[in-house]
Amino acid sequence: MNAKRLTIVGVALTATAAAAYAQFGGYTQANLSSTATGKTFLQVINDLNVRYLYPVDQEKLLRGAITGAVGSLNDEFTYYSPPEDNAIDAENLSGEFYGIGVQLVAANPDGTGGKIDNVFRTGAASTAGVQIGDVFVKIGDKDVLTAKLNEIVRLVRGQKGTTVSVTFARDGKPYTVKMERQPVSIVSVEQTVLPGNIGYIALNTFYNEKASEQFNAAVADMKKKKVGSLILDLRDNGGGLLSAGVDVADQFMKSGPIVSLRDRNKNTTVYGSARNAATDYTGKLMVLVNKNSASASEVVSGALQDVGRATIIGEQTFGKGVAQIPETLPDGGKIAIVNSEWLTPKGRQIHKKGITPDVIVKDTRYTVPPNLTGSGVAPGAKLTFTLEGKPVTVTADKDGKFSYTGDIKRPNRSAQQGEAVVDLQTDAILKKAVALLGN
């Protein structure tokens, strides 16, 4: 990643924050009291502290006010992260932390709980015999069956050399292992060579300060292997650092703007331009996208589409065409504020529109899981159904309602970080890209 660009972003953040404070003077009790709404806010806070029957948690009260202020904008991309979440976020951004060497997904339909999605070959979990599909039950003495995923991550990670005791469930049977936290590096790039001497690089996230470095190394490796053409897979990549998106697009473009930023005063500035370099890949290029390709993924695919450098294949992308400025707050939390929209080289604004692929193909890697709901039975009653040839037992709740959602088909992942696993038979988008490269 280009360190100078990161510095420019940091300088812009500082200047913007200072200008905003100078313009509005900052909220104080004095100027809040100058308006009816401000007086009301102060009175509500005071009345809660004086009159509420139970003790008021001041931290919780003020965080609620912060969350409400940000929420009033009705902008999903402007948000506040409390200190505990921001700490995890900072580790993810750095690309390094101490943990047990696994990837997690939510275990429950409502997004809570944690389940092992992958076990890295060299991590503590692999040594302890943890397997894909194992469900987190307890971390230490804390029950986490319905905990938020971020809380599970926070409890599993820790300081170098410390240990963590985790109780997992496998096929409904619990087991407990004690593991020493070891260094874990987030590898955002996976690669392999497909039949026909076609290079394949999947970039899973741009939210990693090492993403550019890892991607550049993968491209160099493909050139060393003398692949005849290249597929860049940006499916399910929700974006991240704008500078990393510029770096990736720059690997394939010789010159010209990659992305421009336009502020609320309609002033437009070129954020990143291509630089012709000997390390650039100049061969035939296909870029894969789906409905979850967003933000920096759309910066890359939009730029390469505009200049005719690549064929974009897959589904209409997500449509996040705005950029945020993050600011670390005094409490250790973070606020990310949408401060500009970004434009492709041809001036396209793709927010809430997305990018239309040159070749539209449905992503067939995931299937809709079987699910059922019902009611009208006795509370606590157990019902057994046969779904796809297997018995499924559900228990009715206190109102006699029951539901079941099967597991979403999980794509195969390698236990070796950086190694891509693909299946041309079940992946229609990838199959189409390979076919087009063969013509």
210, 320, 334, 432: the catalytic one is 320
Q: Are 265 and 289 in contact (CB under 8 A)?
A: no
Catalytic annotation present for 295: yes
Strand, helix or coil for residue 9: helix
Q: Are strands 173-180 and 334-343 parallel, antiparallel or unpaired?
A: unpaired
Amino acid identity, position 345: P
- Scanning 157-253, the segments in alpha helix (DSSP H) are 211-224, 242-250
431-434 own/partner pairs: CB under 8 Å, 24+ apart: 432/313, 432/359, 432/361, 433/231, 433/286, 433/288, 433/311, 433/313, 434/194, 434/195, 434/196, 434/198, 434/231
134, 233, 236, 306: the catalytic one is 306
- How buried is 315 (Cβ within 10 angstroms: 0-12 exposed, 13-18 middle, 19+ buried)? buried
Catalytic annotation present for 414: no
- How buried is 131 (Cβ within 10 angstroms: 0-12 exposed, 13-18 middle, 19+ buried)? exposed
Q: Are 250 and 258 in contact (CB under 8 A)?
A: yes
Q: Which residue has the tokens 């806010």?
A: 41
Rounded CA-CA distance 292/169 in Å is 30
Catalytic annotation present for 306: yes
229, 260, 295, 297: the catalytic one is 295
Active-site positions read 295, 306, 320
